[in-house]
């Protein structure tokens, strides 16, 4: 009998589970394979951040000495207050104790250490009505103070969303990781082992499947595998996930297989199904699907299984059962409303499409299957899965974790959501395509989309072309305007240090970003420094991009990040602090008037970007054109129709008055009797509830059966007023 334990090792997110195990459990359900999943990250956090956990922690630390920092001395001196308040604070952050916000906001309830030094003008940030959010932010600082204590006194590798990340990021060799794994268990390790012991006693698994999405999960993943091999040597241990998929494809260090039996690559469904099938087969008859294993003392890659990979329609709905969904905590590290979405709120994770429909960006791992193989999921199936997850989890928030969600599929999903009258909140990752017109953004917002994140990367048209991003800065400005005007927040991923990037281009890119924030069309962003990876076009063909690999040697463990030299010789590291500090202020809506030089402690060139570049770009209106194949949709309410008589200079004529009750207002548009009757009937036909969406050509043809000059009608003032209220051309 196969009984599977799926785990995500510490740590990923505090507010919502990483979805990999839920995806695999959903697939195993389709095969009637018994499985239990656990997010060990949140379970470890709940053990530490409790009255018992803090009592044990302070007991382990003992009395602070003069060797400790003043911050540690203060926290230890206030330990009774921390133990007294921690359980109620955790309940509050889990959404179960909302009235505590009033006490927290009095600012004499929580003990305060160094993290509270940064608290200024919270009323400005949250307003007089933001009690819950303000309290959540203060409670987050309180937890971070305790985290600082753990890092300084107990475990230097601790972090809320990563653990021992340094070991994962510098893992070209297995040596440092192996040495740590053979050292004494840390404070965190011991808590982790107790949780594992309970799980194994209750579940008695035959297989342990470990998902390792990030470098910050790697150390704990191996600790879990090590504990399993010591106490349950007969359990088969397999590892997969984002880190192995990108970093371990050329693994050759045999020591790794003293901890795990198998490492599977890319989509996990077929490789795992084959591993389960192998249980009942002699060794010589076993097949493998994209699997690394140890044979005759060597690491071997096997891909000889006849199993085909599954279509997205066949993998089942992600299953979040077993996870402690009511125990995750929402934290607010930064008050920016878009930036906080990664740490605040519980999100059901889904994918609109496997892979990336663009698949050209030269910095991206486009040669790997998770990017290269593009397969969208039908809108109806996506909405089926959304409804299943809402019933299962009681949550209607969705984060579509696509590489880049396709605009056409987003449109179809939005229409299907409206057709089914689902009340959902969702956000996703996109490319800043010109397809995101004002009308499409209005549709997405009406369906529940509240935010998008996308790669602006380097805000330089020359470099965007070199990256093969397929967008220009001007286009990005217009698209972000469309999203923002529709009420959808926008986060931009920003990059510096791309090959051949000059100092001037870095400064000009910062100026573009400054203008985007000042114009109010960008709400959040994050700078990261370019890293050359083995599976990207830059890593595969560095000579085309003006970079030189430092070494051609293949590492025995991780092989993704590649050391290189940029022929420009520019030290891009020195820009990091200034770029990130300026962005932090821009996200708070301040310091736009600063000179760019003010952000750096070394001389920089003046920007060459005109001060009104972004303003001019977003002021440019979209062309009024009628595309025959455009979908025509009405997402407002059905109006009432009345006929009124008008008289002027002795002449009398009848008009049709269409009266619309919208969510916030009532408005009326006058038309001729014939046009009003036609429009009244049309609005019924083009509502999302209808199974088929009419095209503009069909609308025009229907109009011209009895009425002349459709173009003159369509661009009239009454129709343009209706366009602003939800008459969409998509």
Q: Within this chain, do residues 611 and 639 fall inside the same structural domain, yes or no? A: no
Contact 362/170 with Cβ under 8 angstroms?
no
Please, what's the b/e burial string for 141-178 (b: 16 or more CB within 10 A of its CB; e: otherwise)? bbbbbbbbbbebbbeebbbbbbbbbebbbebbebebbb
Mark whether 283 and 221 lie in a shared domain: yes
CB 228 within 8 A of CB 237: yes
Domain encompassing residue 37: 3-313
Last residue of a domain, one of 619, 646, 674: 619
Do residues 466 and 354 share a domain? yes
| Reported pTM | 0.92
Of the CA atoms within 13 Å of residue 641, those in its CB half-sphere come to: 18
**In this model, does residue 121 exceed pLDDT 60?**
no
Given a contact cutoff of 8 angstroms between Cβ atoms, the answer to whether 193 and 185 are in contact is: yes
How far apart CA 319 and CA 14 sit, in angstroms, is 19
* Nearest by Cα to 422 from 397, 392, 455: 397
pLDDT at 164 (0 to 100): 61
Residues shown for the chain: 730
Domain shared by 581 and 663, yes or no: no
Please give the average per-residue pLDDT across 483-488, as a whole number: 96
List, for residues 658-679, the tens digit of each pLDDT value: 999 988 889 999 999 999 999 9
Residues 348-373 as b or e (16 or more Cβ within 10 Å = b): bbbbbbbbbbbbebbbbbbebebbee
- Report, as an integer, the average pLDDT of 552-578: 85
Residue 326: inside a domain: no
pLDDT of residue 553: 61
pLDDT tens per residue across span 300-310? 999 999 999 99
The predicted structure's pLDDT at residue 129: 52
Is the same domain home to 647 and 583?
no
Domain assignment present for 319: no
E-assigned strands of 186-242?
Answer: 207-211, 236-240
Q: What does the pLDDT read at residue 552?
A: 61
Mean pLDDT computed over 392-403: 95
User: Residue 367 CA to chain centroid, in angstroms?
Assistant: 22
Domain boundary among 284, 313, 342: 313
Residue 325's closest CA among 661, 646, 17, 664?
17
Give per-residue pLDDT as tens, 148-185.
Answer: 999 999 998 898 877 766 666 656 889 999 999 999 99
pLDDT tens track for 623-639:
667 789 999 999 999 99
CA distance 9 to 211: 7
Window from 45-54, 116-125, 428-437 with minimum mean pLDDT: 116-125
In this predicted structure, the answer to whether residue 344 has a pLDDT above a threshold of 70 is yes
Going by the DSSP 8-state scheme, the letter that residue 266 receives in this structure is S
The alpha helices in 432-571, defined as continuous H runs, are: 438-446, 461-467, 473-485, 503-518, 537-540
Question: In the chain, what percentage of residues exceed pLDDT 90?
Answer: 80
Tell me: pLDDT of 648 over 90: no
Average pLDDT over the chain reads 92
Structure tokens at 124: 């400005």
Half-sphere exposure of 112 (CA within 13 A, CB side): 13
Tokens encoding 210 = 């470990």
Nearest CA among 98, 116, 118 for reference residue 107: 116
- Give the per-residue pLDDT at 130: 76
Q: Are residues 90 and 115 in the same domain?
A: yes
**For residue 222, pLDDT beyond 80:** yes
Q: Are residues 400 and 493 in the same domain?
A: yes
Gap between the Cα atoms of 509 and 516, Å rounded: 11
d(C-alpha 584, C-alpha 563), whole Å? 29
With respect to residue 161, please indicate whether it lies within any of the assigned structural domains: yes
Share of the chain above pLDDT 70, in %: 96
Residue 333 has what DSSP assignment? S
pLDDT, position 66: 80
Question: Regarding predicted confidence, which is higher, 626 or 316?
Answer: 316
Residue 546 · residue 566 · CB < 8 Å: yes
d(CA 666, CA 664): 7
The answer to whether 289 and 270 have CB atoms below 8 angstroms apart is yes
For Cα atoms 290, 403, 38, give the angle at the middle one, nearest 5 degrees: 65
Contact 496, 460 (CB under 8 A): no
Of 128-137, 407-416, 525-534, 688-697, least confident by mean pLDDT is 128-137
What mean pLDDT do residues 212-240 have?
96
Nearest-CA neighbor of 359 among 406, 290, 314, 312? Answer: 406
User: Are the C-beta atoms of residues 727 and 714 closer than 8 Å to each other?
Assistant: no
Residue 198 is predicted with a pLDDT of 98
Residue 125 pLDDT exceeds 60: no
pLDDT tens profile 576-587: 999 999 999 999
What values do phi and psi take at 428, rounded to 5? -160, 175
The structure tokens listed for 483 are 């999203």
Alpha helices in 447-487 (DSSP H): 461-467, 473-485
CB 332 within 8 A of CB 140: yes
Return the pLDDT at 338.
83
Task: Give whole-number Cα distances, 243 to 157, 212, 269, 342, 558, in Å.
Answer: 19, 6, 17, 20, 9
DSSP string, 562-574: --EEETT---GGG
Tokens of residue 247, six digits: 């970093």
All residues at 6 or more sequence positions from 136 whose CB lies less than 8 Å from its CB, including other chains: 92, 93, 101, 330, 331, 332, 344
Closest alpha carbon to 94 in 148, 36, 42, 159? 42
Is the pLDDT at 642 greater than 60? The verdict is: yes
Question: The tokens of 525 are what?
Answer: 């962003």
Burial annotation 553-574 (CB, 10 A radius, 16+ → b, else e) = eebbbbbbbbebebeeeeebee
Report the number of distinct structural domains present in the chain.
3
Q: 561 pLDDT band (50/70/90 cuts)? A: confident
Token reading at 289:
């699907």
Q: How far apart are CA 208 and CA 225, in angstroms?
A: 8
3-state secondary structure of 154: coil
For residues 365 and 356, give the distance between their C-alpha atoms in angstroms, rounded to a whole number.
11
Whether 455 and 411 map to the same domain: the answer is yes
Q: Are strands 298-302 and 291-295 parallel, antiparallel or unpaired?
A: antiparallel
Q: Select from 256, 283, 313 the last residue of a domain.
A: 313
Q: Are 251 and 292 in contact (CB under 8 A)?
A: yes
Question: Confidence class of residue 119 from pLDDT cuts 50, 70 and 90?
Answer: low
The arrangement of strands across the sheet holding 348-350 comes to 348-350, 397-400, 425-430, 449-457, 489-496, 524-529
How large is the average pLDDT for residues 254-269?
97
Is residue 624 assigned to a domain? no
pLDDT score of 620 more than 80: no
Rounded distance, CA 509 to CA 500, Å? 14
Residue 582 forms part of a structural domain:
yes
Same domain, 65 and 147: yes
305/13 Cα distance (integer angstroms): 35
Higher pLDDT, 329 or 556: 329
Lowest mean pLDDT among 130-144, 167-181, 586-600: 167-181
Long-range contacts for 515-518 (Cβ within 8 Å, ≥24 apart)?
515/609, 515/611, 515/613, 515/614, 515/615, 516/459, 516/476, 516/477, 516/480, 516/492, 516/614, 517/586, 517/587, 517/589, 517/592, 518/586, 518/592, 518/614
Rounded mean pLDDT of 198-211? Answer: 97
Q: What is the pLDDT of residue 569?
A: 87
Determine the distance from the C-alpha atom of residue 662 to the mean position of all C-alpha atoms in its chain, rounded to a whole number. 33
- Dig out the tokens for 407 from the structure: 């605009």
Cα distance between residue 376 and residue 19, in whole Å: 18
In this prediction, residues 50-68 reach a mean pLDDT of: 92
Check: CB of residue 404 under 8 Å from CB of residue 389: no
Q: How far apart are CA 681 and CA 679, in angstroms?
A: 5
Q: Tell me, what's the pLDDT at 691?
A: 84
The Cα 199–Cα 202 span in angstroms is 5
* pLDDT (average), residues 530-543: 90
For residues 524 and 505, give the distance between their C-alpha atoms in angstroms, rounded to a whole number. Answer: 21
606 pLDDT above the threshold of 90: yes
Instruction: Decide if pLDDT at 607 tops 60.
Output: yes
Q: Is residue 625 part of a domain?
A: no
Q: Is pLDDT of 510 > 90? A: yes
Q: What pLDDT does 168 receive?
A: 60
Answer yes or no: is pLDDT of 257 > 90: yes
pLDDT value of residue 664:
87
Q: Is residue 692 domain-shared with residue 586, that is, in the same domain? A: no
Is 405 inside any structural domain?
yes
Q: Pick from 285, 276, 293, 277: which is nearest to 205 by CA? A: 276
- CATH code (residue 396): 3.80.30.20
Give me the residues paired with residue 262 across strands.
238
Examine residue 398 and state whether it is found in any structural domain, yes or no. yes
In terms of domains, do 72 and 166 share one?
Answer: yes
493 and 348 together in one domain: yes
Q: How far apart are CA 610 and CA 511, in angstroms?
A: 9
């Amino acid at each position: 009998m196969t009984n599977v334990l799926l785990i995500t090792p510490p740590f990923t997110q505090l507010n919502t589970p990483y979805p990999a195990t839920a995806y695999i459990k959903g697939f195993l359900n389709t095969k009637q394979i018994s499985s239990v999943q656990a997010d060990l990250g949140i379970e470890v956090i709940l053990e530490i951040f409790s009255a018992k956990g803090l009592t044990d922690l302070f007991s382990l630390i003992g009395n602070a000495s003069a060797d400790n920092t003043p911050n540690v001395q203060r926290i230890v001196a206030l330990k009774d207050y921390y133990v007294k308040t921690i359980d109620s604070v955790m309940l509050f952050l889990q959404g179960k104790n909302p009235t505590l916000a009033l006490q927290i906001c009095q600012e004499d309830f929580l003990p305060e250490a160094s993290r509270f030094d940064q608290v200024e003008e919270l009323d400005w940030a949250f307003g007089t009505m933001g009690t819950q959010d303000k309290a959540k932010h203060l409670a987050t600082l309180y937890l971070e103070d305790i985290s600082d204590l753990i890092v300084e006194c107990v475990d230097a590798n601790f972090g809320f969303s990563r653990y021992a990340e340094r070991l994962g990021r510098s893992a070209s060799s297995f040596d440092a990781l192996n040495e740590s794994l053979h050292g004494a268990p840390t404070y965190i390790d011991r808590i982790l082992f107790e949780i594992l012991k309970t799980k194994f006693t209750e579940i008695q698994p035959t297989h342990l499947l470990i998902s390792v999405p990030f470098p910050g999960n790697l150390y704990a993943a191996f600790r879990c595998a090590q504990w399993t091999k010591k106490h349950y040597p007969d359990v088969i241990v397999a590892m997969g996930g984002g880190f192995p998929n990108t970093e371990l494809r050329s693994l050759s260090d045999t020591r790794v297989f003293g901890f795990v039996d198998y490492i599977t690559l890319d989509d996990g469904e077929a490789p795992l199904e084959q591993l389960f099938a192998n249980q009942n087969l002699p060794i010589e008859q076993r097949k493998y699907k994209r699997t690394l294993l140890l044979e005759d003392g060597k690491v071997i890659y096997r891909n000889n299984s006849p199993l085909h990979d599954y279509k997205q329609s066949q993998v089942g709905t992600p299953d979040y059962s077993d996870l402690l969904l009511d125990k995750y905590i929402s934290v607010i590290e930064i008050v920016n409303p878009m930036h906080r979405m990664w740490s605040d709120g519980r999100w059901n994770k889904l994918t609109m499409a496997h892979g990336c429909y663009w698949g050209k960006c030269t910095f991206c791992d486009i040669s790997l299957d998770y990017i290269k193989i593009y397969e969208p999921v039908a809108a109806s199936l996506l909405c089926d899965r959304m409804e299943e997850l809402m019933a299962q989890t009681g949550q209607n928030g969705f984060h579509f974790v696509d590489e880049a969600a396709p605009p056409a599929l987003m449109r179809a999903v939005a229409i299907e959501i409206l057709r089914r009258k689902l009340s959902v909140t969702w956000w996703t990752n996109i490319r800043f395509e010109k397809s995101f017109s004002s009308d499409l953004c209005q549709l997405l917002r009406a369906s529940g989309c509240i935010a998008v994140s996308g790669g602006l990367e380097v805000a330089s048209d020359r470099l965007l072309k070199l990256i093969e991003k397929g967008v220009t800065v001007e286009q990005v400005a217009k698209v972000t305007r469309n999203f923002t005007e529709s009420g959808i927040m926008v986060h931009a991923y920003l990059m510096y240090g791309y090959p051949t990037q000059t100092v001037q281009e870095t400064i000009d890119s910062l100026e573009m970003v400054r203008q985007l924030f000042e114009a109010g069309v960008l709400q959040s962003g994050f700078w990261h420094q370019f890293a050359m990876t083995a599976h990207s076009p830059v890593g595969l063909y560095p000579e085309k991009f003006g970079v030189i690999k430092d070494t051609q040697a293949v590492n025995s463990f991780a092989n993704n990040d590649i050391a290189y030299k940029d022929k420009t010789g520019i030290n891009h590291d020195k820009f990091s602090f200034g770029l990130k500090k300026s962005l932090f202020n821009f996200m708070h809506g301040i310091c736009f008037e600063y000179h760019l030089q003010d952000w750096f402690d070394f001389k920089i060139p003046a920007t060459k970007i005109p001060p009104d570049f972004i303003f001019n770009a977003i002021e440019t209106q979209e062309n009024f054109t009628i595309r025959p194949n455009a979908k025509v949709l009405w997402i407002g309410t059905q109006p009432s129709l009345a006929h009124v008589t008008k008289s002027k200079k002795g002449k009398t004529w009848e008009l049709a008055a269409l009266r619309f009750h919208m969510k916030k207002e009532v408005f009326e548009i006058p038309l001729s009797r014939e046009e009003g009757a036609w429009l009244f009937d049309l609005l019924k036909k083009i509502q999302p509830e209808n199974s088929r969406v009419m095209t503009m050509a069909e609308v025009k043809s229907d109009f011209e059966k009895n009425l002349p000059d459709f173009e003159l009608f369509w661009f009239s003032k009454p129709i343009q007023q209706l366009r602003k209220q939800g008459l969409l051309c998509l």
